[in-house]
Amino acid sequence: MSFEQKRVALPIRFGPKTLFRIPFKAHYYVGHFTDLRNPIDLPETASEAVIFPSVPSDGNDHVPLRIHDGRIFYSPKQFPHYLADLTTDFETYLSSFGSKSKSTLRRKVRKFEELAGPGFFRQYKSADELRTFYALARELSKRTYQEKLLGHGLPEDLAFQERMIDLAQADEVRAYSLHLGDIAVAYLYCPVRDGVLYYDFLGYDPAQSGLSAGAVLQYLAFESLFAEKKFRLFDFEEGEGQHKRQFSTTCIQCSNLMVFRPGLKSWAYIAMEYACHRSTSLALRLLDKLKLRTRVRQSLRSGNA
């Protein structure tokens, strides 16, 4: 299996908001979760943790915490993991939408094109193209709710930029942007590993939410990717979302898995993470009971909260 030895900073989150992080020396699984076999083989390692971001799981027998062979197995949550198969052609892919959904999506694309004019969709592959992309996407990211409220904007640090250029030189990244005139209103950044594109960073200008910029950009990015015939999967990564449901072709129930060596830091992380996870679940249940979850989400995204 494919692992990288590195320092990771595991987050303590309340909802989507990261409160702080705890560093660990870890073996981090960098293969794709669909390539994992059961039972999972763990590397022989002196690292503090072995991290699997996503493993297929059976919801009927999910156990969040167990101790086995002197290690702590912690799997705090289950989630849907959405994927899109890129091995067919674009028209075959669109047929999975249903005629009404496909017609609606194409109408949104035409509407945006009519409003924006030529050159409204741009794609980036080479190192020089990615430098151009980074400059415009970084400015747009500052305005997005993904960065302002969730802390998940396009990174500013030099290490990310250097890594981006390395990936471009190895033809292992794709990026896309959507424009109204000279103004970028949406971006998508997808690194590639073993023929799989990852939905790593995206954002759109909340002032243009009525134009469905995120959906238009995803449609055009997929049209480009199917034309390339180079990749096998598009991985929307962990979590639920209408956008992911709309554009995926399959969904696999998964959980994350962290395997720790026993120690004070490991138990402290697990206790804090579990407490925040339970608090988030209770808060969401309360919002659902009051029928406020959708209203709160929309308020956050529009920047009114």
Structural domains of the chain, ranges and CATH numbers in brackets: 3-78+252-302 (no CATH), 87-231 (3.40.630.30)
Phi, psi values for residue 295, rounded to 5° = -65, -40
Strand 17-29 vs strand 3-14: parallel, antiparallel, or unpaired? antiparallel
Pairing between strand 183-193 and 201-204?
A: antiparallel
State the maximum Cα–Cα separation within the chain, in Å, rounded to a whole number.
62
Instruction: Give the C-alpha separation, 131 to 125, whole Å.
Output: 10
Amino acid 304: pLDDT: 41
- The pTM is what? 0.84
* Whole-number pLDDT of residue 305: 34
**Per-residue confidence in pLDDT tens, the chain, 305 aa:** 689 999 999 999 887 778 899 999 999 999 999 998 877 888 887 789 999 999 998 766 678 899 998 999 999 888 999 999 999 999 999 998 888 899 999 999 999 999 998 899 999 999 999 999 999 999 999 988 777 766 778 999 999 999 999 999 999 999 999 999 889 999 999 999 999 999 999 998 888 878 999 999 999 999 999 999 999 999 999 888 889 999 999 999 999 999 999 999 999 999 999 999 888 888 878 877 777 766 656 665 554 43
